[in-house]
Amino acid sequence: MLKETVCDLVYKLAEPIVMEKGMELVDVEFVKEGAHRYLRLFLDKDEGINLDDCEKISKEISALLDQEDPIKQAYFLEVSSLGLDRPLKREKDFQKYQGYKVMVKTYSSFAGKKKHQGKLGRYDQLNLNLFIENNKEIAIPWQIISQVKLDWEE
């Protein structure tokens, strides 16, 4: 099973449970590290995620995954908070954090660099707009963007 397929399936299964508890399922990753595989769910909510939140969701998701059995190989389930520098991956993330300071990393050089810091602007299917120093707006093509994260550094 492809990594994206597993992540998408788990996201669809887990999101209603997470939302019911007043939290947001931000991301799901399924990775192999050394000899082990890890299924990681990353949560968020306005007042922050605590250990009790992670434990509650972990128990419910674990039971659901045991029942649905979408992953055939052995894995460890981890549920945690993303922290302050959370990645923006889904459209709802870009809508929610429009106007916030972000760090955009690119695969190749754009305007002479691979890291761009600024306020998140408009976006469409082709570009992500960013307001950089002196409120100058640049449009970075999605095809060269490797990562967008909230940026709390000054």
CATH number of the domain that 120 lies in?
Answer: 2.30.30.100
11 with 76, same domain: the answer is yes
User: pLDDT band at residue 154, thresholds of 50, 70 and 90?
Assistant: low
The pLDDT > 90 percentage for the chain reads: 66
Burial of 42 (0-12, 13-18, 19+ CB in 10 A): buried
20 with 42, same domain: the answer is yes
For the segment 74-130, what is each residue's pLDDT rounded down to a tens digit? 999 999 987 777 788 888 889 988 999 999 999 999 989 999 999 999 999 999 999
CATH code for the domain in which residue 40 is found: 3.30.300.70
**Res 81: pLDDT:** 87
Both tokens assigned to 84: 């302050």
32 with 70, same domain: the answer is yes
Number of domains, the chain: 2
pTM here?
Answer: 0.69
User: pLDDT band at residue 134, thresholds of 50, 70 and 90?
Assistant: confident
Q: 58: domain range?
A: 3-81
Average pLDDT over residues 15-44: 93
**Res 153: pLDDT:** 66
**Res 122: pLDDT:** 92
Please check whether residue 86 lies inside any domain of the structure. Answer: no
14 with 60, same domain: the answer is yes
* Domain endpoint, select from 81, 106, 133: 81
DSSP assignments along 113-130, one per residue: EEEEEEEEEEE-SSEEEE
102 with 123, same domain: the answer is yes
75 with 128, same domain: the answer is no
Please check whether residue 46 lies inside any domain of the structure. Answer: yes
* Domain endpoint, select from 81, 103, 131: 81
Q: Which residues of 104-118 are buried (b: 16+ CB within 10 A; e: fewer)?
A: bebeeebeeeeebeb
